[in-house]
Amino acid sequence: MSRTWGITQAIDLAQAHERMTATMSIPLPPVPKEKRPRPVQVRAKVVGVRVVGAYREFTLHAPGVGVDAQPGQFITLGVGGNSSALLLRRAFALSGVDGDTINVVVATHGPGTRWICDRQLGDVLDLIGPLGRPFPAPPPGGAALLVAGGYGAAPFVGLAQRLCAAGHAVAAVLGAATGDRLYAVPEFPALTRVLAVTTEDGSAGRTGRVTDVVPELLPGASVVYACGPMPMLRAVAAQSAAYGLICHVSVEEAMACGIGVCMTCVLPVIGDDGTSRFLRSCVDGPVFEGAKVRFDDIGRLPDDLYGAAAMRATR
Ligand SMILES: Cc1cc2nc3c(=O)[nH]c(=O)nc-3n(C[C@H](O)[C@H](O)[C@H](O)COP(=O)(O)OP(=O)(O)OC[C@H]3O[C@@H](n4cnc5c(N)ncnc54)[C@H](O)[C@@H]3O)c2cc1C
Ligand code: FES
C-alpha cells in the first residue's frame, strides 16, 4: 500500500500548557494570546538538497507547515532515526516556503546536524512546525535594516520579500567569518535598496564584521532586525538602542521540546512592566526586543530571578 505523506498529528499548545499546569503546583506562564498558525507534526520527505558554501540547504515536502508560517518562525527535526540516542529535536529557521514545501539551511555543528546533513533525496524526517513568534511588522512606511550573521540570513529572505511587498524600504548587512559561511547573498540585491556584505577574513565583501557597517545604515532605518550568533545580537541591539531604534533579535538558545513545556530555552527578559522574567525562547520567542534581553545574564542565575515569580508572566 502506498504511503500518504501528510499531517500525522496536530499539536495544541494551549492544551499542552493546560495539561502541564494541572500537574504542577507552580503556574506556568500563560500561552501568548495572539493568533498563530497551529504547529503540525509531519513526515517530511527530502525533495531537494543543495550545497551552499559550508551549508546544506534542504527542500522538504512538509504539507501544512508553511500554510500560515511567517518569517522568524522555525521548525524542529527529530534526528538519528527511530532507535537513536539523540533524543532531542533540533531547531532550524524556516528559510523559505512554497506551497507544500519548505526550505531549511543546516550548518554542521554536532552529531544531530551531521546526521541531518547526511540525508539524501527521498529520505524522511520527523518535522514539527511552524513554531515560535515571527518578526513583528515595522512601523507603517518605516524602513527596515536587516542584520544577519552566517545562516542567520535564513529567515531574512522571506522577511525581506514580505517587507518589499508591503512597500517598506529594506537595507541588509550580511556577514560571516568566511565567504563560504555567508548565506543567500544572491537573493538580496532584488529585495534591498542597500546591501552590504562583510567577512572577517576578507574573502568576500568588506573585511570586518556586520557591526562595522551597521552604524552607517542606522540613520536611514526605522527599525532593525537581527539574526545570528548571540554576541552579534547583543552588539547590534546596543548599537540600535544607542541610536534610539527598536531592534528585534532572533535568539538561538539551546532547545529541547520546542513547544514550551521543558524550560530548557529560558532567558531573562525585561517585561513591559519593567520586571524581568525568564521567558521561553521557543514559544515567547525566538524573536524578542533586543533592548529587553538581558544578554549579560544569559546562562546564569541573576539575583533578582528566582523561583515561581521569575516565571509567572510573559512579556
Ligand atoms: C530558533 C532556532 C533556529 C535555528 N536555526 C538554525 C538554522 O537555520 N540553521 C542551523 O544550522 N542551525 C540553526 N539553529 C541551531 C541548531 O538548532 C543547532 O546547531 C543544533 O541544534 C545543534 O545540534 P547538534 O546535535 O548538531 O549539536 P550538539 O551541540 O551536539 O547539540 C547538543 C544539544 O544542544 C542543542 N543545541 C546545541 N547548539 C544549539 C544551538 N545553537 N541552538 C539550539 N540548540 C542547540 C541541540 O538541540 C542538542 O539538543 C537554530 C536554533 C534555534 C534555537
Ligand atoms: S525548548 Fe522546551 S520550553 Fe522551550
CATH architecture of 144-250: 3-Layer(aba) Sandwich (3.40)
Q: Does any ligand 2 atom lie closer than 6 A to the CB of residue 262?
A: yes
Q: Does any ligand 2 atom lie closer than 6 A to the CB of residue 260?
A: yes
Residue ranges covered by each domain of the chain: 7-131, 144-250
CATH of domain 7-131: 2.40.30.10
pLDDT-derived band at 275 (thresholds 50, 70, 90) equals confident
Q: What is the pLDDT of residue 6?
A: 32
Atom in ligand 1 nearest the alpha carbon of residue 107 = 11
Atom in ligand 2 nearest the alpha carbon of residue 262 = 2
pLDDT in tens, 121-146: 999 999 999 999 999 999 998 999 99
Residue 264 vs residue 47, higher pLDDT? 47
Residue 70 falls in which region: left (phi positive, over 0), alpha (psi -120 to 50) or beta: beta
Listed in sequence order, the DSSP H helices in the chain are 13-22, 111-117, 154-165, 210-217, 230-242
What's the 262 CA to ligand 2 centre distance in angstroms?
A: 5
Q: What is the pLDDT of residue 37?
A: 77
Q: What is the pLDDT of residue 306?
A: 67
- What is the rounded average pLDDT for all residues in the chain? 87
Q: Which ligand is nearest to the CA of 105?
A: 1
Atom in ligand 1 nearest the alpha carbon of residue 79 = 25
What's the 222 CA to ligand 1 centre distance in angstroms?
A: 31
Atom in ligand 2 nearest the alpha carbon of residue 263 = 3
DSSP 135: P
Q: Does any ligand 2 atom lie closer than 6 A to the CB of residue 148?
A: no
Q: What is the pLDDT of residue 5?
A: 27
112-116, 207-211, 304-308: lowest mean pLDDT where? 304-308
Q: Does any ligand 2 atom lie closer than 6 A to the CB of residue 16?
A: no
Q: Does any ligand 1 atom lie closer than 6 A to the CB of residue 110?
A: yes
